A and B are shown apart, each in its own frame.
Chain A
């Protein structure tokens, strides 16, 4: 497709399990962002890649969160030892130059 694709759309995990969320950006987009959106709130920045380089990870809430983009296209956000407060929608966005970002539809993560 032409847009940003995220998978899975929904993920349920038990507390303590590890999860991996995938983002396929728009082809050719250099920039890739991950955001976390809690219920009733706006998206909050987690991390930013330019090609394969992770230039900003200041928004990652703890060292349990890890993101990678090894070949400068697909990105994976990994959360280790999940906790209930990790429950949220995780949004991926891609962009080019300083143009507005294009968002995917998100992965809704529920931790039981």
Chain B
């Protein structure tokens, strides 16, 4: 039973437009959510996070929205740039356990076309 799901394996967007990546989770005990970006042959790098007490967190071109009632979060990238092309992983964890082992989705491959 996959607790974190990214239902779109891939997304293609034109440079300058908005990219929206979606993530659903089933475990209502998760209270901290993260997005990681991964380039080929490299490890994931942290992008942005949100705790369950918030519904939005913004960092430059990246905004994460959390809808707890729907158990859904999304990552918005505006404007999208070719360098944003990568695999994006959504992850969830419990805030107070051992610095939190994270449960990851299977990723969405974003391609930003020039």
Contacts and interface: CB of A to CB of B under 8 A. Distances in A.
B59 interface: no
A15 to B, nearest CB: 25
B106 A42 contact: yes
A77 B104 CA distance: 21
A97 B99 contact: yes
A100 B43 contact: no
Nearest to A50: B98
A105 B44 CA distance: 8
Contacts of A59: 101
A33 B46 CA distance: 15
Interface in A67-112: 91, 93, 95-106
A104 B42 CA distance: 7
3 nearest interchain CB pairs?
A42-B104, A103-B43, A100-B46
Given A42-B4, A42-B89, A48-B101, 11 more contacts: A35-B104, A42-B107, A43-B104, A45-B103, A48-B98, A48-B99, A50-B99, A59-B101, A97-B99, A99-B99, A105-B43
Given A41-B106, A42-B106, A103 B45 contact: yes
- Size class of B's contact patch? 20 to 34
Nearest to B32: A98
Interface of B: 4, 6, 32, 34, 36, 41-46, 49, 89, 91, 95-96, 98-107
A56 B89 contact: no
The binding surface of chain B is classed by DSSP as loop
Interface of A: 4, 30-31, 33, 35, 40-45, 48, 50, 55-56, 59, 91, 93, 95-106
A43 B87 CA distance: 12
B102 A101 contact: yes
Interface centre among B4, B45, B104 (most CB of A within 10 A): B104
Contact of A4 (B4, B32, B43, B105): B43
A56 B98 contact: yes
B83 to A, nearest CB: 19
A8 B89 CA distance: 24
